Amino acid sequence: MKHKAVFLLVVLISGVLASGCIGGETKETQASKKVQLTGDFAKDVIKIGKVLEENGISEVKFSAWGSGDPNSVMRVYGIVDAAYKINKIWKENGISVKITVTVKYDQSFNDQYKEFLSKQPLGQAGDFFVNSYAFLSTLAEEGYILDITDYAQAYQSVINDFYPTLLDASKYNGRLYGLPQDTEARPFYVRKDVAQCVGLDVSQLPEKVKNGEFTWSDVYYWAKQAKEKGCAEWGLIHRKGSAHPDLIQFIFAFNGKLYDENTGKLVLDVPAVYKWLYVEWKFARDGLLPEDIMSWDWAKQIHPTIVEGKTLFDIGGTWYWTEWQTKQYYKGRSLTPEEVKEWFAYTLFPAGEKGAKPVTLSQPFIWMINSKAGQLNPKYEELKDVYQALAFLMIIKASDPKINAIHSVISAHLPVRKAAAELIKDDQWLNNLKALNLDLAPEVKENIKDIVESTVNPINAQFLADVSYMLQYTHFAPSHPKYPALADIFKDAVDKVLRGEMTPEEGVNYIISKINADPELKDNIEIVGEIPKDWKFPRGD
Amino acid sequence: MKIRKDKLYTLSFFLSPMLIIVVLFYLIPLVLTVYISFTGMKNWNIERYMHDFVGFYNYQRLFHMFKYDPTFKAVVLTTIVFVGITLIINVFGGLGLALATFFMSERPGNIYRLLWLLPRMSPIAVYSLVWYYFFHGSEIGTLNSILLKLGLISEPIPFGQIIPWGAWSIIIFVNGLVGVSFGMIVFTSALNQIPKEIVIAARVDGASGWQISKRILFPMMKWHFLYVLTWQFLSLLTTYPHLFLLVEWDLVNRDYGTTLALYVFNTAFGRGEQEQGLAAAAAVILSILGIIGGVITLKVLEFEKMIKKPRGEIE
């Protein structure tokens, strides 16, 4: 009797399990696990929503990682807003699925990159990652970010609206690994009141710089005048650190190069690097540039010196324009847009010498998708393609011209899409942004309202329009895995030369020995040219 | 010496928790580190590079870098000076503090000890930031601003950029302040184990504080002294977090603020491409240096003599 009961129980349990399995299988084969994108955003979103719903998914969780200056928070809130728009479409169509996005916004893009690198293999990195294009090659090479080339084919009309050079920066080995999020130029700022004091006419300056008539010899001359006449404490202030590629503009301004496309190797252009170090050395020796600038404090020394008019020239970035309006760098307060406009003129980075061309440098940020996007959601293995397609649609939505234009205006970065560039010229749209009278996620409005309040202004929009031409003169730092190591060496050499520990010649030799000391660097860097023997600075021509 | 079976079981039972911990947290990581040092592991891509054997390539590369790097001499010198002087400060400073608080009454003694523990309890970034602003080489630096206000200097002094001793002084000071509390705790605990009666009797006989320390306390603390010395030596040889921040924030000169441990860390983890294979090779070399240094310390201080067999029956 007892045996019979046990036998019956086993049969019963097996029956229940078998029916469950069979039933489950039937259900799963019915639900689709893939979607084919059509290029019609609403249609694609609805299709994905239905697939998720059929598979019993009611909530999709994503996380967005971004970094940068405080005004650039749209790098993560763009994703939040994309989720809001998709949720809205789903709701309107009776699809009961919802996307929730958590954000992580850090100050240092370099540190966040390192964090992404170490956490991605563990499955703990953000699903969306916005960072410098400089890291894209390494991330793509390691398989840490999603190749979106096939998805992008369906959205060719959107893709075509991006500036082609920026799309190139989003590619690796001919495949697309992200969408441009922003870019910038690095204007050469001139303090108008100091210029007036020394008798430098700034009205014609941008044109003269553009034509290569105003070179670094002239910068030296006027900087010296400013110092000698007591118009300013310094002639020139520039940025610091190896992560910021501002100073390598000198290499391009002296007709040098940093990358050889034919060999895929980095280049140490000895004549150009020597001239760069010589300029730094000369400025510091003559007291026109602080010899310890590389260890100056950003908030307490660098920015206050510029906004308080203690220097004639400054090598900066477009984002300075709004950063000065939101941070208390000027005697304990921030500047008004009117003050920034009144006090600063801006040009391209002048040519190093006669015969060379003016330059600027861009470091586009790219919206990248983690190759494990959606991994923390239910049925990830089965629905991987669906989650990835959804993530792609989210960066398409986050690249909406309106979102891109908002980011540009409030952070003084340049638009990456032609449609966004048009939008920032529209006064009516700017007024709507000022009043936050736009269809944005409530969370986004809440988080950008203070920045919008202090930065949305026709003056700032005009500034962006005015500096857009600089992109025609732009260069990119090489997207090469070994470049950060070379940039570190450059930083050390500049520091030593500025402090007078090394002559420019010794500085160049120091760079060469550091490269030769690491076999991997040596293999990846071509050293070209020699230190020019009869080169003089300033030339006085 | 043969150990009886039941004795072996008893020993295994009591030793097993410690053995498991040693295997889990020391032996396995050590074996893994040695293994990784023979692979081309980079960018944390375990899946891709775990079986990418490169032989001694990482070691060869490291030696090549050490040999030809123009700033390596500064790194070696900094390591020797930093470990040497900070070790002296940590050990003798800790001893001094423990003795000073030992001769105090209990309440103020405890307060002083707590004060010296504060640097250890503060988060590294916060603690380093305090000293960053204190020693900053411009008028925004607290020390410079005080000296300027007192009229002792007319121009700010770039303390961390005065090479080599300016940079060395800052890194030694900042790390010494953290490390000294370790010795203090160990020595205080050792002092508390010494029967009070001996000290009281010496006092009654008219011995001074120095005589008590020299004749009674120091000899009884030799074991602890050896422990603190060895531990702190190994710890200083591999320490880098405070140094990393001070160098990263450009407070101290990069060459003379970088020890071997930080050099290894920066070479392997501080750049755009993170190379775990190279890091592991460097870590193995550092471990070997640590082991050699540790053994020398134990020999010099005659560790064997301190481990004496009990005079009574063992069985």
Proportion of chain A above pLDDT 70, given as a percent: 93
Q: Which residue, among B36, B44, B61, B251, would best test binding to A if mutated, counting the most A CBs under 10 Å from its CB?
A: B44
Neighbours of A247 (CB within 10 A): 22
pLDDT digits (tens, 9 = 90+) for B279-298: 899 889 888 988 898 888 88
* Average pLDDT in chain B: 88
Query: What is the model's pLDDT at position A31?
Result: 62
All structural domains of chain A with their residue ranges: 37-183+364-456, 188-361+472-528
In this prediction, residue A502 carries a pLDDT of 96
What is the band of B196 on the pLDDT scale with cuts at 50, 70, 90?
Answer: confident
Chain B partners of A123 at a C-beta cutoff of 8 Å? none
Q: Fill in the DSSP letter of residue B255.
A: G
Per-residue pLDDT tens digits for A455-492? 898 899 889 889 988 988 999 888 888 888 899 899 99
Instruction: For residue A425, name the pLDDT band (cuts at 50, 70, 90).
Output: confident
Q: Does the pLDDT of residue A6 top 80, yes or no?
A: no
Radius of gyration for the alpha carbons in chain B, expressed in angstroms and rounded? 24
Reference A220, options A238, A204, A235, A205; nearest CA is A235
- Residue A228 confidence (pLDDT) above 80: yes
Residue keyed to tokens 């860390």: B265
Average pLDDT, integer, range A12-18: 48
Summary mean pLDDT of chain A: 91
**Is A301 near chain B, with CB under 8 Å?**
yes
Q: Is the pLDDT of residue B267 over 80?
A: no
Residues A215, A356: Cα–Cα separation, whole Å? 9
Residues of B within an 8 Å Cβ radius of A: 43-48, 60-61, 64-65, 67-72, 136-138, 140, 158, 160-161, 249-251, 254, 269, 271-274
B97 vs B147: CA distance, rounded Å: 29
Residues linked to residue A266 through DSSP beta bridges, in sequence order: A259, A525
Domain A37-183+364-456 superfamily per CATH = Periplasmic binding protein-like II (3.40.190.10)
Is the pLDDT score of A84 beyond 90? yes
Return the percentage of chain B with pLDDT > 90, whole number. 43
Cα dihedral angle (A34, A36, A41, A42), rounded to 10 degrees? -60
User: Is some CB atom of chain B closer than 8 A to the CB atom of A522?
Assistant: no
**Among chain B residues, CA nearest to A485:** B271
Domain A188-361+472-528 grouped into CATH 1.10.1790.20: no
Residue A17 is predicted with a pLDDT of 46
Interface test with B, best of A108, A109, A142, A495 (most B CBs within 10 A): A142
Class level of CATH domain B68-273: mainly alpha
The nearest CA of chain A is from the CA of B249 a distance in Å of 7
- Chain B positions touching A114 (Cβ under 8 A) are 269, 274
Q: Which of residues A16 and B13 earns the better pLDDT score? A: B13
pLDDT at residue A20 in the model: 43
Instruction: With a cut of 70, say whether residue B269 has pLDDT above it.
Output: yes
For B66, nearest residue in chain A (alpha carbons): A517
Does the pLDDT at position A8 exceed 60?
A: no
Percentage with pLDDT > 70 across chain B: 96
Summarize pLDDT for A323-381 with one digit per residue, the tens: 999 889 999 999 999 999 999 999 999 999 999 999 999 989 999 999 999 999 999 99
Residue A10 in this model has a pLDDT that exceeds 60: no
Q: Do domains A37-183+364-456 and A188-361+472-528 have the same CATH topology?
A: yes
The pLDDT value given to residue A410? 93
Percent of chain A with pLDDT over 90: 78
Could you read off the pLDDT of B211-221 as tens digits, one per residue? 888 888 888 88
pLDDT at A507 over 70: yes
CA distance B122 to chain A (A): 22
Cα–Cα distance, B240 to B251 (Å, whole number): 15
What per-residue confidence (pLDDT) applies to B12? Answer: 86
Q: What is the DSSP string of A124-153?
A: -S-SEEEEEGGGHHHHHHTT-B---HHHHH
d(CA A183, CA A138): 20
Nearest to B232 by CA among B26, B45, B50, B93: B93
pLDDT for residue A56 is more than 50: yes
Cis bond leading into B158, ω under 30°?
A: no
Which pLDDT belongs to residue B271?
61
In chain B, the residue whose alpha carbon lies closest to the alpha carbon of A138 is: B273
Interface test with A, best of B246, B271, B276 (most A CBs within 10 A): B271
Distance from C-alpha of A270 to C-alpha of A528, rounded to nearest angstrom = 6
Quick one: closest CA in A to B138, which residue? A296
